[in-house]
A and B are shown apart, each in its own frame.
Chain A
Amino acid sequence: MLEQKADSQPPTCPSSGRDPDEPAARAESADPAGRGDRAVVRDALGVGVAVGLSGFAFGVTAAGAGLSLPQTCGLSLFVFTGASQFALVGALAAGAAPLAAAAGAFFLGVRNAFYGLRLATLLRLPRAVRPLAAHMVIDETAAVTLAQGTRRGARIGFTVTGVTLFVLWNLTTLLGALGAGALGDTGTWGLDAAGPAVFLALLAPMLRTTAARATAVLAVALGLGLLPVLPGGVPVLLAALAAPLVLLVRGRTRKGTAAEAPRDDGDRTDDADRTGNDGDADEADAEEPGEERR
């Protein structure tokens, strides 16, 4: 039954991910079945190149935060999921304890598990390939892969995006880390704004539902309010509690006023258009009946 549900979903972009990037969006609006391998490769390369370049900003940020060259490159090689890397570096720079910093980065990385779930049905990877493929399960590969109409296309999209991104992300991280010394004070160049801008770019397409916006507002309040009074890294973890809190409150409200519960995602179609990620809104809709039943 679950299989059936997964298969019945059209190939869309992931539910909780970053901006799935323009080429992927275009791929979706084009005729997915009739697209040749070359078109898939072109889209995959486009995403890989565009995002790979922002590895430069990460390299500079990490070096600016006081990480050594091996540490900076080690993060891009072994963590290889941008938001978690930026989060870890930011937390360490703010003086967080190592495990508190790692916890925040890990929780951000948990979303990749859910990309993996959806990719697994689409790619049907042999068991032996999974450990290697797993490293490539990130926002961008999920976006490109889920936009393909065929298994062949999905596999090509996943592989090309993953490999391009891995190579460029690590190369540009190295260049950024090396360049940071030449740049001197990274603050002068405004590069300390790169991290938050990356987070905002990832966050924006997720703010389509009322619950998401309420969560964001509460998390900002918690994150900033607790910052001066708690040790580094801890306020972010407590801010993550905004998610279960909003679900709890919403669940309670739903029980009382299920009949007149407002639609969550009717008023922000502009965001859906922006990302070409309209499958998200459908998915949110599809979830609602399940909630009512519960």
Chain B
Amino acid sequence: MNVWIAIGATALGCYAAKLLGLSVPQGMLERPVVKRLVTLLPVALLAALTAQQTFSDGGTLLLDAKAAGLGAAAVALLLRAPFLVVVAAAVLVTAAVRALVQGG
């Protein structure tokens, strides 16, 4: 049930944001302060989420094979690889490191 509440709230909120953009008069959201804040907000969220989902397991910090996977994704990004290749690199390297650690 809790999960459905989260899904419903997210769906409503995200849809409202999309519709708002198409519907409001230009001037309302185009103020420089608002614009800059909205440019930086996803940066903060994505950076925090990347770090958390790489270096934690629930509520505890940890360093595991995902760090290597993320490193591979970063290299792929630097090499201007397409989106799918970036994700694939992270998945494959993480799996490979896990297999090696378990095998060794």
Contacts and interface: CB of A to CB of B under 8 A. Distances in A.
A114 B83 contact: no
Contact of B59 (A75, A212, A228): A228
B95 A102 contact: no
A218 B29 CA distance: 26
A13 to B, nearest CB: 13
A294 B14 contact: no
Given A74-B7, A200-B74, A223-B52, A215 B15 contact: no
A193 B69 contact: yes
B77 A201 contact: yes
B32 interface: yes
B9 to A, nearest CB: 4
Interface majority SS on B: helix, strand, loop or mixed? Answer: helix
A117 B26 contact: yes
A291 B71 CA distance: 36
B17 A109 contact: yes
Nearest to B40: A243
Interface in A71-97: 71, 74-75, 78-81, 83-88, 90, 92-95, 97
Tell me what chain A mostly uses at the interface: helix, strand, loop, or mixed: helix
Contact of B83 (A54, A81, A115, A125): A54
Interface in B47-87: 47-56, 58-61, 65-66, 69-70, 73-74, 77, 80, 82-84, 86-87
A79 B52 contact: no
Contact of A84 (B14, B47, B70, B87): B14
Contacts of A207: 43
Interface residues of B, number: 75
A90 B58 CA distance: 9
A232 B58 contact: yes
A81 to B, nearest CB: 5
Nearest to B5: A98
B91 A193 contact: yes
A216 B21 contact: no
Interface residues of A, number: 115
A108 to B, nearest CB: 5
B9 A98 contact: yes
B70 A197 contact: yes
Nearest to B17: A113
B6 to A, nearest CB: 4
Interface in A104-134: 104-117, 119-121, 125, 130-131, 133-134
Interface string B4-27: 111101110111011111111011
Of B29, B47, B59, most A-chain CB atoms within 10 Å: B47
Contact of B13 (A67, A106, A199, A201): A106
A21 B85 CA distance: 12
Nearest to A142: B21
Given A51-B83, A197-B86, A240 B26 contact: no
Interface of B: 2-7, 9-11, 13-15, 17-24, 26-27, 29-30, 32-33, 35-56, 58-61, 65-66, 69-70, 73-74, 77, 80, 82-84, 86-87, 89-96, 98-99
Given A6-B30, A117-B29, 10 more contacts: A51-B83, A85-B10, A90-B49, A97-B2, A120-B21, A190-B98, A200-B90, A206-B39, A227-B52, A236-B48
